[in-house]
Amino acid sequence: MRPTNTRNPDYFHKVVDCQWACPAHTPVPAYIRLIAQGRYSDAYMLNRDSNVFPGILGRVCDRPCEPACRRGRLEEEPVAICRLKRVAADHRGDITDSLPKKPAKTNGKRIALIGAGPASFTVANDLAPLGYECTIFEKLSEPGGLMRSNIPAFRLPEQVLSEELGYILDMGVELKLGHSVDSMDALLEEGWDAVFVGTGAPRGKDLNLPGRWDTKDEDNKDSENIHIGIDWLESVAFEHTKKIGKNVLIIGVGNTAMDCCRTSLRLGAKNVKVMARKPREFFKASVWELEDAEEENIEIIVNHSPKSFVIKDGKLTGMVFELLEYEIDAGGKIISQKVTGETTIPCDDVILAIGQDNAFPWIEETSGIKLDKWQVPEVDEATFESTRKGVFFGGDAAFGPKNIIWAVEHGHQAAISIHKHCQGKMLTGRLPNEVEMAPTKMGMFEWRYSNSYDDAARRKMTHVELTKRFADLDVEVELGFTAEQIATEVERCLNCDIQTVFEASLCEECDACIDICPVECLAMTPDAEDEDQLRASLSASENIEGQALYVSDALPLTGRVMIKDEDVCLHCGLCAERCPTAAWDMKESLIQIHYADEQDGGQKRGLGT
Amino acid sequence: MTSFVKPFIRRKNEPTNALGLVRADYDGAMSTLCAGCGHDAVTATMARAFFELSIEPHKAVKVSGIGCSSKTTAYFLRDSHGINTVHGRMPSVATGAIAANHELAYIGVSGDGDSLSIGLGQFVHAMRRNVNMLYVLENNGVYGLTKGQFSAAADIGSTAKKGAVNELPPIDPVSLALSVGATFVARGFSGDRDQLLPLIKAGLKHKGFGLIDVISPCVSFNDHKGSTKSYAHTYKYYNPAIHADYVPPSEQIKADYAAGEVMPVKLHDGGEIRLRKLENGYDPRDRAAAIGKLFESGQSQEIITGLLYINENDKDMHEMARMEDRPLNQIPYDELNPGAAKLKELQKGFR
């Protein structure tokens, strides 16, 4: 086989599972090491480079990094990456001096950003310091988008949100609140150099079942007790809605449903049931959000499919559900379902949390922006440009509902496009990622990272007592990590970005590395035509996670090759400690991702932590 | 001394053996030998052999003498019985232990110093008695623990690290074993586990004395140019002549070899050893042929390895000496110690 090319920037990047899984490619192990050293501000700033909102995301990120964590491949739980991000934010000092500054003068290019959510703010964050005049239009009276209107304050305190948005506004970004953009054509006529649409997916799905529109009121058939989840949460966030009935049913079991049920409890509901059509393994909500809801005694009822609303005397009194039974195959897929009965569950209010759609009633066909039949715009996946030159989309507005961290990444990419667009350059031809290898060896068996394996279990964050947390809507439930929890959790990180680097010409084939490896991921074997043949010589050769097999150059004494299964390697460095000839070394792979300021002759940021 | 320990880590989808144990359950304490020592590779291969044979760790006995190699019994099978004996006296202790309980799996680990100098007499007599054990001689040609003096296994012309040339002829443990009646004689190399692993498994399953002379380079004192036991030299002149696979009784049906390519040798446990890569006409069951082959290869610098001789027909010590079949710990106490009266009666017979 051809020897592995570790100079390909994606090779080592992929080994850092968390960073690879993160849409914004946050260098997780690097910031965890900074936290371990007590350098919270540095950890915060390193986070901020890629994900812009460490304090917000440290609380409410969807955490694609955690299921990817290498630690999960042992019989263990992943590192509490998200919680550690919050630690960096909680304990940071005054970082205002390190933030990008408002430029002395602008470059005269005017950018309109529609919707004050994470995508627009990221674009502004990347462009304002370069001299762009960014104006954000927001129809509500406060900025933040879904982060303010849909995420309840008990999960994301208002002050955390405002502070991080404030950093960006301080870069000279203009924010027009209560300013809804009702016509794209009109906006385009104003002569902006570029327009960015970051308006999210604002239309919550309705459930048109019998009884939905059967209330007495002739003028308004809509029941005041049937709510659309995201609209209801917004109404609560802006204090238009202050109470709810005693018995509440939530339809749907995604993350919005979790926010709805927990918010209901804080508005006076006593008995909240989340109704799911399918069994638990099919739930869309994140595991931790389910756990947090269940901790508050929310009942989650499976295999109940909504059939109709029960309206008596014009008032909602309950809902009828069909009881379902599923046949699930060995692969965990539903192969058939049947109705086994029916039940009526009484309630005072129903909240529908069954998804949301894109909606652009304000974008005219004449604007030249093509939308498909589901109102999703035609957007280039690399440049985020729409079918009209100079109009860009990002966040949920671009490809439908995703999450905050995706919105941030969209924002970064759109900012590069806008920067290139405004200079009259091609939007493609962005700087490719690079990888730089930095030594970590400090002496005999001494590295500048904590390489010894720590078998501590994942720390569990302390929550406010159940008796105290419902008093106000904005009592933050999670208390943050204690000093002990921080100290333990940082050591659980395996430092996957400290790579095992092999120099075949130095190897004398003594097998020391193979014997010391605690997970048996190394072997020396005659070269073979294909990967499967090589893998056969590894004792743990199952390739489940899709990680690569490293193949070295031919070894000097026998012409065999050294192979390494990147899937199970724990980056403990024992191979390098044991190697008598230093053929193995541990080097930090710094993945350099270039943002708008570095493109087209901009100065490249230095890396190194 | 190393400053680190190898952590014990359970991972998902880890292979287990018939006892439900994982490979790491057969590890021992962290090795304190020099990084890159051939002995560590042998240790790891022994651990793997016991794992793959699904031998319960508490049914294995590790015995050794003194030296770098003899230290290694601490580094595998942490839950087994074991004893570090006086220098060169491991065969006697092993003989006694086997006399007391011959149902356990015995593995002796020794080096060229322990076996070929101070313990030469013991070594020879254990082979002569055909004690039922596997004797692994980790051979690096020097006294590593005392900083690299030539051992009795050093070849003529081989140089020490500082340049001194050895002029004394070496003792070859393999020829010695063939001449005194060992019934399983092999040579291996720490750098070739594909060959060594099945040799160790076969040696453990062989009934009688099994010797594996393992070339196991000393990285600190005998891995330089001019050494004939360095990694580079061994890889260069290495000839894996006869490959032996151990096939347990349960897998006997899968006979997937063409006649002539493979020579099967039945073992007492019902399993068999399948010998491959044989040269035309060479029969490892023929002692004279083995001795001839060895001398022939000795003319060139070639290092011939593999299972060079096997004899499954000779009686082992237990059988020859007509010893009690039951392990002593399974014999009721009054039978084991019939009392003073019985002793007197016995003594009468000798007067």
The minimal CB distance from B9 to the residues A453, A508, A539 is found for A453
Mean pLDDT for the stretch of residues B132-148: 96
Q: Per the CB < 8 Å rule, is B36 touching A578?
A: yes
Chain A CB contacts of B217 under 8 Å are 510
Exposed / middle / buried, residue A213 (Cβ in 10 Å: 0-12, 13-18, 19+): middle
Structure-model confidence comparison of residues A603 and A302, the more confident one = A302
At B330, give phi and psi (nearest 5°).
Answer: -105, 0
**Does residue A232 sit in the same domain as residue A350?**
yes
Same domain as A184, residue A117? yes
Of A74, A509, A510, the CB nearest to B11: A74
CB B235 within 8 A of CB A558: yes
Q: Is residue A168 predicted with pLDDT exceeding 70? A: yes
CA dist list (Å): A318 to A235, A298, A314, A347, A451 = 23, 18, 12, 5, 58
Q: Which domain holds residue A563?
A: 498-592
Say which DSSP state A555 is in.
P
Residues A189 and A222 in one domain: no
Q: What is residue A256's DSSP assignment? A: H
Provide the pLDDT for residue A609. Answer: 42
pLDDT number for residue B276? 79
Same structural domain for residues A366 and A471?
no
The Cα angle at residue A505 between residues A502 and A507, in degrees rounded to 5:
70
Identity of the residue in A539, A544, A558 whose CB atom sits nearest the CB atom of B235: A558
- Greater confidence (A527 vs A221) lies with A527
Res. A374 pLDDT band, cuts 50 70 90: confident
Burial degree of A434 (CB within 10 A; 0-12, 13-18, 19+):
middle
Query: What is B23-324's CATH number?
Result: 3.40.50.970
Comparing A542 with A358, which gets the higher pLDDT?
Answer: A358
> Contact B37/A539, CB-based, under 8 Å?
no
Specify if A441 maps to a domain: no
A200: its two tokens = 């999210």
- Say whether residue A558 is in contact with chain B using an 8 A CB cutoff: yes
d(CA A90, CA A58): 9
Which pLDDT score is estimated for A607? 56
Q: Which of A371-380, B55-64, B244-253 has the highest mean pLDDT?
A: B55-64
Q: How many domains does the structure of chain A reveal?
A: 4
Residues A228, A351: one domain?
yes
Q: Which of A73, A449, A454, A508 to mutate to test the interface with B (most CBs of B within 10 A)?
A: A508
Over residues A15-52, the pLDDT tens digits come to: 999 999 999 999 999 999 999 999 999 999 999 999 99
Residue B232: list chain A partners with CB under 8 A: 508, 557
Query: In this predicted model, what pLDDT tens digit does every residue of A193-238 receive, in sequence order?
Result: 999 999 999 899 999 999 888 776 666 667 789 999 999 999 999 9
Cα(A140)–Cα(A165) distance, integer angstroms = 15
**A509 at interface of B, judged by CB pairs closer than 8 A:** yes
Of A442, A492, A515, which to mutate for an interface test with B (greatest number of B Cβ within 10 Å)?
A: A515
Phi, psi (deg, nearest 5) at residue A229: -45, -55
| Domain presence at residue A439 | no
Partner-chain contact A511 B37, CB within 8 Å: no
Facing A557 at nearest CB: one of B3, B36, B231: B231
Mean model confidence pLDDT for chain A: 92
Task: Give the confidence band of B2 by pLDDT, cuts at 50, 70, 90.
Answer: very low
Q: Is the pLDDT of residue B1 over 50?
A: no
pLDDT of residue B9: 86
The answer to whether residue A429 is domain-embedded is no
pLDDT: is A497 or B1 the higher one? A497
Tell if the CB–CB gap between A452 and B232 is shorter than 8 Å.
no
Q: Are residues A208 and A324 in the same domain?
A: yes
Q: What pLDDT is stored for residue A548 in this prediction?
A: 87
Within 13 Å of residue A577, how many CA atoms lie on the same side as its CB?
Answer: 23
pLDDT tens digits along A234-281: 999 999 999 999 999 999 999 999 999 999 999 999 999 999 999 999
Whether residue A342 is found in the same domain as residue A418? no
Whether B299 shows a pLDDT value over 90: the answer reads: no
Kindly tell me if the per-residue pLDDT of B266 is higher than 90.
no
Please judge whether A580 and B4 are an interchain contact, meaning their C-beta atoms are less than 8 angstroms apart.
no
From B25, which residue of chain A is nearest by alpha-carbon distance?
Answer: A518
Same-domain check for residues A211 and A150: no
pLDDT(A284) > 80:
yes
Q: Indicate left, alpha or beta for B109 from its phi (over 0: left) and psi (-120 to 50: alpha).
A: beta
pLDDT in tens, A559-574: 999 999 998 899 999 9
Question: Would you say residue A387 has pLDDT above 50?
Answer: yes
Query: A520 in a domain, yes or no?
Result: yes
Query: Which band of pLDDT confidence, cut at 50, 70 and 90, is reported for residue B258?
Result: low
d(C-alpha A81, C-alpha A72), whole Å: 12
Query: For the segment A311-347, what is each residue's pLDDT rounded down to a tens digit?
Result: 988 889 999 999 999 999 988 899 999 999 999 999 9
- Inter-chain touch B4–A577, beta carbons under 8 Å: yes
CATH code assigned at A401: 3.50.50.60
How large is the average pLDDT for residues B193-203? Answer: 94
Domain harbouring A48, CATH code = 1.10.1060.10
Q: Does residue A228 sit in the same domain as residue A248?
A: yes
**In chain B, where are the structural domains located?**
23-324
Taking the CA of residue A279 and the nearest CA in chain B, the distance in Å comes to 25
Is the pTM higher than 0.80? The answer reads yes
Average pLDDT over residues A87-116: 94
pLDDT value for A540: 62
Q: Is residue A405 a part of any domain in this protein? A: yes
Q: Residue B312 corresponds to which tokens in the numbers above? A: 């499954």
DSSP codes joined into one string, A299-362: EEE-SEEEEEEEEETTEEEEEEEEEEEEEE-TTS-EEEEEEEEEEEEE-SEEEE-S-EE---TT
Q: What integer best gives the mean pLDDT of chain B?
A: 91
Query: What pLDDT score was predicted for residue B271?
Result: 84
For residue A567, list chain B residues with Cβ-Cβ distance below 8 A: none
In a shared domain, residues A278 and A383: no
B136: closest CA among B83, B82, B189, B59? Answer: B189
The pLDDT of residue A122 is 97
Identify which of B253, B256, B269 has the alpha carbon closest to the alpha carbon of residue B202: B269
Contact status, residue B40 vs residue A511, Cβ threshold 8 Å: yes
Average pLDDT over residues A146-175: 96
- Complex prediction ipTM: 0.86
Measured between CB atoms, which of A509, A515, A519 is closest to B11? A519
Confidence of residue A608 (pLDDT cuts 50, 70, 90): very low
Give the H/E segment covering residue B235. Answer: helix B231-237
In this structure, the number of other CB atoms found within 10 A of the CB of residue B190 comes to 27
pLDDT category at B259 given cuts 50, 70, 90 is low
In this prediction, residue A375 carries a pLDDT of 83
A210 lies in the same domain as A318:
yes
Q: Tell me: pLDDT of A152 over 50.
A: yes
Q: How many CB atoms lie within 10 A of CB B237?
A: 14
Residue A87: the pLDDT is: 97
* Segment A402-425 mean pLDDT: 96
Question: Which pLDDT band holds residue A68 (cuts at 50, 70, 90)?
Answer: very high
Q: Measure CA of the first residue to CA of the last residue in chain B; give whole Å.
A: 59
Q: Are residues A459 and A482 in the same domain?
A: yes
Cα(B65)–Cα(B87) distance, rounded to whole angstroms? 5
Instruction: Tell whether A4 is covered by a domain.
Output: no
- Dist. CA A169–CA A166, nearest whole Å: 5
Task: Read off the pLDDT of each residue in A339-358 and give the average, rounded to a whole number.
Answer: 94
Distance of CA A580 to the CA centre of its chain: 43
d(CA A352, CA A598): 45
Q: State residue B64 phi and psi, 5-degree precision.
A: -155, 170
Give the residues across from A272 on adjacent strands. A248
